[in-house]
């Protein structure tokens, strides 16, 4: 068997192994439920060899949508005692138990990709007719509930909502959040070495926010008013922008019109105008913003490059970002490091503070391509390819040694390999 065929087989087997009666866990043990952006990315992998299963992944995810349109970050379809904090701590009373925050909505972009890739047109049309109205409600929710003052920049209430949970970008904003004082038993450290995971004081603050949402009965207005952590997450905003543009393209193709669609068009325009609020002229980079102190989170992380993916950077900014990407890649042995290797907060092995994630590289490469930097995009792809071939399908990779870190046999790594690299 040729090497690539073997890798394809292994990647497929990971998805089969992580399948739990129709949805896919990111990896058994460490993450035993269905995660929002993981599910979307994993569907890309399934699509390569089982189209019905790819659509099913997304239907499972959408089955957890709240009445207000929100699609949660985790769906606790079945119980498991290998993860904390579980449904009781989150306290939601929905039919499908879930967390009360969302995650970067790459889902819609992926639905558009599946739509374009589908060989079974009948199945595609049937699934899309079901999924599209939910996607529209999901996007309307982002702009309505998370940008109540129509600034153009949606607000996130938890580092976990960014998907880049432990990014140094959140450090100072999170420091302002009180710590819980009750005892709890973390489960992640039963699976993974502590040097690759967040510290306890960060966990205490993550949990404070989880309780805060519950105590506010998940009321959007109250949370917006009182939440001690509010951020304009540049990565989430860029992914949302990409996804809304893709949603509008899908609607156009399918002749879906009406006031909701018009309102989404207004939202993308607003975001495009507002994005400069997150640009720092002095360092020529995009950052997230802490809305409690009204200041940029000035640590360079790979989130800033995703503005290319959302077509939010102007030509001059795009040129600067593309140049920066090349320097960034040569500053660590493996690329692209999630935190700029020249930053003092850079830790090449710790969760979101330095390691490389395949799906982020993929979005950065797509963004570079969209902006005309195909050579740099090809370089990102090559760097990504080396990594997973060296260390297989881990959750993320040490940016200096290339070693696999976090969970093994990881769904999104296998899916990105199947979709993009193999």
Binding site for ligand GLC (CB under 6 A): 26, 31, 35, 37-38, 163, 165
Q: Give the closest residue to 90 by CA, choosing from 74, 66, 70.
A: 74
CB of 246 to ligand GLC, least distance (A): 20
Could you check whether the bond before residue 87 is cis, i.e. omega within 30 degrees of 0?
A: no
Q: Is 19 a known active-site residue?
A: no
| Residue number, 35 or 285, with CB nearest to ligand GLC | 35
| Residue number, 18 or 376, with CB nearest to ligand GLC | 18
Contact 374, 384 (CB under 8 A): no
CB of 114 to ligand GLC, least distance (A): 19
Identify the active-site residue in 38, 233, 369, 395. 395
Alpha-carbon distance of 111 to 117, in angstroms, equals 10
Q: What is the DSSP string of 170-224?
A: GHHHHHTSPPP-S----SHHHHS-GGGS--HHHHHHHHHHHHHHHHTTT-HHHHH
CB of 162 to ligand GLC, least distance (A): 8
Task: Tell me the torsion sign for CA atoms 411, 34, 71, 85.
Answer: negative
| Residue number, 34 or 317, with CB nearest to ligand GLC | 34
Pairing mode of beta strands 289-290, 23-24? unpaired
| Residue number, 373 or 410, with CB nearest to ligand GLC | 410
Residue 34 burial (CB count, 10 A): 28
Contact 178, 211 (CB under 8 A): no
Contact 395, 26 (CB under 8 A): yes
CB of 38 to ligand GLC, least distance (A): 5
| Residue number, 30 or 335, with CB nearest to ligand GLC | 30
CB of 395 to ligand GLC, least distance (A): 7
CB of 26 to ligand GLC, least distance (A): 4
Q: Give backbone dihedrals phi and psi of 274, rounded to 5 degrees, phi first.
A: -90, -15
| Residue number, 285 or 412, with CB nearest to ligand GLC | 412
Alpha-carbon distance of 112 to 249, in angstroms, equals 9
Q: Give backbone dihedrals phi and psi of 156, rounded to 5 degrees, phi first.
A: -110, 150
Q: Is 395 a known active-site residue?
A: yes
| Residue number, 64 or 163, with CB nearest to ligand GLC | 163
- Half-sphere exposure of residue 253: CA atoms within 13 angstroms, side-chain side: 13
Identify the active-site residue in 50, 165, 222, 311. 165
Contact 240, 141 (CB under 8 A): no
CB of 25 to ligand GLC, least distance (A): 9
Q: Is 352 left (phi over 0), alpha (psi -120 to 50) or beta?
A: left
Alpha-carbon distance of 25 to 408, in angstroms, equals 12
Contact 335, 383 (CB under 8 A): yes
The residues annotated as belonging to the active site are 165, 395
């Amino acid at each position: 068997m040729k090497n690539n065929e073997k890798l394809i087989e292994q990647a497929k087997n990971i998805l089969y192994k992580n399948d739990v009666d129709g949805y896919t866990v990111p990896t058994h043990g460490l993450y035993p439920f269905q995660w929002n952006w993981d599910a979307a990315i994993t569907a890309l992998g399934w699509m390569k060899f089982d189209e019905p299963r790819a659509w099913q992944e997304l239907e499972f995810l959408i089955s957890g949508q709240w009445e207000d349109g929100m699609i949660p970050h985790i769906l606790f379809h079945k119980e498991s005692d290998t993860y904390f904090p579980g449904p009781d701590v989150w306290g939601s009373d929905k039919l499908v138990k879930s967390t009360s925050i969302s995650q970067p909505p790459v889902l819609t972009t992926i639905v558009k990709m599946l739509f374009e890739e589908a060989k079974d047109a009948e199945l595609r049309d049937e699934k899309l007719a079901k999924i599209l109205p939910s996607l529209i409600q999901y996007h309307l929710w982002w702009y309505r509930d998370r940008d109540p003052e129509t600034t153009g920049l949606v607000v996130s209430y938890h580092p976990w909502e960014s998907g880049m949970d432990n990014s140094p970008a959140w450090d100072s904003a999170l420091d302002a959040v009180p710590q819980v004082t009750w005892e709890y038993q973390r489960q992640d450290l039963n699976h993974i070495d502590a040097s690759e995971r967040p510290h306890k004081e960060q966990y205490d603050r993550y949990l404070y926010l989880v309780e805060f949402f519950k105590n506010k009965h998940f009321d959007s207005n109250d949370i917006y008013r009182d939440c001690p952590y509010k951020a304009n997450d540049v990565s989430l905003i860029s992914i949302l922008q990409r996804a809304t543009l893709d949603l509008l393209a899908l609607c156009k193709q399918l002749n879906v019109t009406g006031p909701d669609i018009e309102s989404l068009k207004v939202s993308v325009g607003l975001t495009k105008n507002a994005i400069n609020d997150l640009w720092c002229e002095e360092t020529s980079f995009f950052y997230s913003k802490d809305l409690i102190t009204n200041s940029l989170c000035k640590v360079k992380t790979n989130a800033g490059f995703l503005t290319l993916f959302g077509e939010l950077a102007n030509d001059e900014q795009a040129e600067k970002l593309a140049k920066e990407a090349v320097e960034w890649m040569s500053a660590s042995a493996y690329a692209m490091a999630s935190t700029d290797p020249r930053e003092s907060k850079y830790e090449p092995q710790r969760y979101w503070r330095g390691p490389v994630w395949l799906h982020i590289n993929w979005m950065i490469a797509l963004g570079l391509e969209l902006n005309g930097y195909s050579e740099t995009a090809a370089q990102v792809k090559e760097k990504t390819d080396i990594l997973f071939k060296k260390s297989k399908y881990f959750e993320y990779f040490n940016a200096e040694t290339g070693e696999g870190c976090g969970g093994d046999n990881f769904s999104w790594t296998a899916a990105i390999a199947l979709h993009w690299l193999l």
